[in-house]
Structure 1
Amino acid sequence: MHITEECMREGMQIESAEISVSDKVSLLNALSQTGLKSIVVGSFVSPKYTPQMEAIEDIIKQFTPAEGVNYHALALNRRGVERSAEYTPPLSPAKRHPMLFTHMCDTFTRRNTNQSQAQEIERWPQIIEGVQRRGGSEAALAINAAFGSNFEGQFSLDQRMQMLKRQHQAWSDAGIAVTGVLLGDPMSWCMPHTMEEQLNAIQETWPGISHVYLHLHDARGLALPTTYAALRVLSDKNDLYLDTTAGGIGGCPYCGNGRATGMVATEDLVNLLEEMGIATGVNLEKLIEAVWMLEDILGRHTPGHVSKAGPMPHGENLYDPNLPFVETFEQARHFQLGPQVAADGLYPWREPIPKPSINS
């Protein structure tokens, strides 16, 4: 299980370009202390269209890298790759499989990258030749806007499998083994049963694929249950890579939903995994504090849930039965800040409520 924190890139690219470098550096430093092992710090793109990323070099120069954390940045063209290389380290070289990244939605790729789906496919031979030249032996299939489009409607399993098979054939013809697959959902069309169907089809068709990358957006509130469906389908032989954002912020200006797009909130996913008995190595308390910092920077609440209500309390962390009324988000922070933040609440019961026995 691998979590990649995308708040500084996927999240910030849809937020105000006026957020200061110092605030972004403070947030990045806070995220670095949570135990997350993979953090995307931003993207090397044109500030003309993404002014939020204009100061990425300043952020990289000013933040404090934490030992054991891999920092990455998105680069979409040759100039971006060159700029990224100037800051490697502290950035880490990309470790994902080489991919024939293709959008299922031609409209979206035209809006997002100023090229057609056909033009993406035309680049496949160059990508494959580059992998061969570097001596690469493994690669991945990759489709974005995989499940549906706000502009073109839903895509079927058959449509997705046809595109994946074309990619698989191209890699196989070049003598390169396919061991990974990426499924992206920028417009939030995936549902739990659709993910189950898709992953089962991939495993049945290509048993050699063991690395699964998911980049799921949350405009319709289904990204976390869809992630859970993937967890249920995949086995211990699979490496699952999940992109998330602290607070669940994020979005793409090209998909039509703006900030409403969101992503799986990192804190919500960590809570789910830990409650399922899957260790993440993430300090949830520090992560929640980072989300609170993010909310202060943005001046509003973020979409995530666990940063508001806290994780499920266990043992000595169970709430005091005589806790007063809790009505506001600020009072609800008693789970981490202590009962004093809710001390001004009402006490309607006539006598103290006895402490119940604790279920282990």
Structure 2
Amino acid sequence: MTQLDTEASRTRLSSQAIDLRSDTVTVPDERMRSAMAQAVVGDDVYGEDATVNQLQAEAAELMGFEAGLFMPSGTMTNQVAIAVHTQRGQEVIVPEGAHVYEWELGMMATFSGVVPRFVPAPAGVPAPESVRAGVRRSIHQSPTGLIVLENTHNKAGGTVVPLEVIHGVREVANSEGIPLHLDGARVMNAAVALGVPLAEITRPFDSVSLCLSKGLGAPVGSVLVGSREFIGRAHRYRKMMGGGMRQAGMLAAAGLLALREGPARLTHDHRRARELAQALVNAGFSVDLSSVQTNMVYATVPGAQARVDAWSAQGVKANALGPDTVRFVLHHQITDEMLTRAIAVLGA
């Protein structure tokens, strides 16, 4: 893409609404569209799409696993993982507010026949002892079949699970003989926030779901990684859920670009989130600044929906998540200039 193309793209973005509803709202730029148009494709259900295969291999290597599987969404990767790891009638230990329960429409019960067992998760971080206390072995209760962590934790404000907690929960999983899955939709944000290689966070898990269409900037898709045996079983469940995408290389090409280049942009998203959070506090809104660790800001805003509607009319979009809660999410298509304009509209 030429400098002229880049400037034209920036001009178009700056004239549009400033969309802070989610990091899923980004659109492919000219370079990503070009990669998609030129992608080598084949029938992925037969395992013959070279671009999909490359994406799966690179994602698996990056996270320290043997194999990967490309799917349309993070909900599908999470739910396929749950299906592979569990048996019907079991419980799945999840932190309070976990995406696999809150926003995946009861799929663990509908598809896999399992139910959640919630454990306390202050700031999105469950203590290993709380996880151990959630394990069930009694003949009178549903046995525990899986432990799930979420990193970063969306509902807690994009908070990061510390490495020592991950290793502590891994010890619990080992001692209890229970598999451990990571909903890592934004785990790359966690790696950037902690300043560690991605694999340092992901290797303790038996499987990991990584979303490509959030902060990394692809238009579609997530990758599930695990052992070759695990991914072999996951193929069947992906097909059962309608996830066989045939010539999916055009989507995978965008995913590859996002995987290779997206992480370098995340530090700017985190910085802008902190700037927005402080500006909101200065304007009189309540924000738990300790929870602003990555690219999200949750603010207490009385009359949230009416306020969000008013901001939208002035060109700034956000998400009302309750009567007095608004979520803002920074992403790579929000520039410093756009953030300045958004702060002015928000009254900060």
TM-score range, shorter chain: 0.3 to 0.5
TM-score by length of 2: 0.34
- Relative contact order higher in (CA < 8 Å, ≥ 6 apart): 2
Determine which structure has the larger helix proportion and give its number. Answer: 2
TM-score by length of 1: 0.33
Larger radius of gyration: 1
